[in-house]
Amino acid sequence: MAEKIRKFINDYPAARWGALILIASMMFFAYMFVDVMSPLKSMIESERGWSSTVFGTYAASEYIFNVCGFLIIAGIILDKMGVRFTGVLSASLMVAGAVIKYIGISAWFQDTAFCAWLNSWWMALPGSAKMASLGFMIFGCGCEMAGTTVSKALAKWFKGKEMSLAMGIEMAIARLGVFAVMWISPLIYGKFGTVVAPLAFCTALLCIGLIFYSVFTVLDKKLDAELIAAGEMASEASPEDEFHIRDLGKIFSSKMFWIVALMCVLYYSAIFPFQRYAPNFLERTLGVDAETAAHLFSFFPILAMALTPFLGGFISFKGKAASMLMIGSIIMVACHLSFAFLLPAFPSKWLALLLILVLGVSFSLVPAALWPSVPKIIDEKVLGSAYCLIFWVQNIGLCLVPLLIGAVLDFTGGYLVPMLIFSSFGVLAFFFTFLLKIEDKKKGYGLELPEVQK
């Protein structure tokens, strides 16, 4: 007699892909908010009296609390409390931080006694930048926590299925937020004539993202109930399976963890800080206005958005994740060197667009291969903490690099040295991808193997 096969909610394609859309939408809105100020650098400097150093400090503030240890705590919360509690908490932090940032940038806030006090305290930054930075710090805690939570949630819902494809689609949807905000932010600014309007719009979208993730928690609770009923998951973790603080030692003592983490911080330090300055770089290099520069750079995530799901599917069914990481790093170095030397020599919009699109190819190769590889080298019990610790190391670079670039810009007055700095990060990232491939070949983690077995 044939044994009856039990099906769970995530075995139904509509359910698991629907869950992905809900949580990816939250990240789409988060990515919009992250870069809402990037096309407005010139405007915020004129409206609020910021300098490039002040803008760099503001951009770095997103990561300060994370670097100071919040991401380590976030990993513990994620492994202790699960994806439902942690996801709602992270979305709530994003909303709270966005509101504070909105208040700091608002025109009425500039005339308050509190802003006057902020202006007098620590004169390095104007009061508007201090308040905006505080909000961005809180938002950054929620955003980075959300990123790790989404990765663990997808690993749970797509375990034994199309995990790399799912993560690729989630990343594509999130990056669509970068494209969208590069068009929407200048458009809203042009309509209302103030940098506050785009901020208000993106803050409202974050509230919608919180609602979407709350709907996902209902589906996830049903999945857990089915797994418990089938004996696939214990209603309470056994002492052997329960997460303990000492388990962090397993992560820190892992050679593969450090290779991945260092490769990650170097690669992303040449991508996300560059996003903050790219529209202004194009303004200066091509001699165009801020809106045109933002529209040009908006195409950066387009190829990444289009290719990442296909690359994720390729990894799911064919493998070659480690090789993709190497190729992605090489492309990134070539692009930044071209931004440094080729584009200033031949300042063409079409050349700029070509380089931006090619950089997007790199930005599809690396994340599509990187994040699905982590569950292959880290115990599932500490997977949330592993993701958070990788993000923690990454955030150190993302915090320091915008400060460095802002200071270099004020000192040199041009983008040649910043682009060389970004290029050097890519060279070092390639070195660590080479080490990763060697270690995988020695230990057999399966990074080059497909996930879906025929």
What would the pLDDT profile of 426-450 be if each residue is shown by its tens digit?
999 999 999 998 988 888 888 888 7
Please determine, for residue 248, whether its predicted confidence score (pLDDT) is greater than 90.
no
- Between 93 and 43, the more confident residue is 93
Please determine, for residue 235, whether its predicted confidence score (pLDDT) is greater than 60.
no
Q: What is the pLDDT of residue 419?
A: 95
| Rounded Cα distance, 296 and 291, in Å | 9
Please determine, for residue 238, whether its predicted confidence score (pLDDT) is greater than 70.
no
pTM as predicted:
0.75
Q: What is the pLDDT of residue 68?
A: 85
When the pLDDT of each residue in the chain is averaged and rounded to a whole number, the result is 86
Q: What is the mean pLDDT of residues 62-91?
A: 87
**pLDDT single digits (tens) 148-201:** 899 889 888 888 777 778 887 888 888 889 889 988 999 999 899 889 999 999
Q: What is the pLDDT of residue 422?
A: 95
Domains of the chain: 12-443 (1.20.1250.20)
Q: What is the pLDDT of residue 6?
A: 65
Q: What is the mean pLDDT of residues 193-222?
A: 94
Q: Assign 234 a pLDDT band (cuts: 50, 70, 90).
A: low
Q: What is the pLDDT of residue 368?
A: 78
Q: Assign 52 a pLDDT band (cuts: 50, 70, 90).
A: confident
Please determine, for residue 239, whether its predicted confidence score (pLDDT) is greater than 80.
no
Q: What is the pLDDT of residue 231?
A: 67
Give percent above pLDDT 70 in the chain. 94
Q: Among the listed ranges 255-269, 294-308, 401-415, which one has the minimum average pLDDT value?
A: 294-308
Q: Among the listed ranges 70-79, 292-301, 377-386, 390-399, which one has the minimum average pLDDT value?
A: 377-386
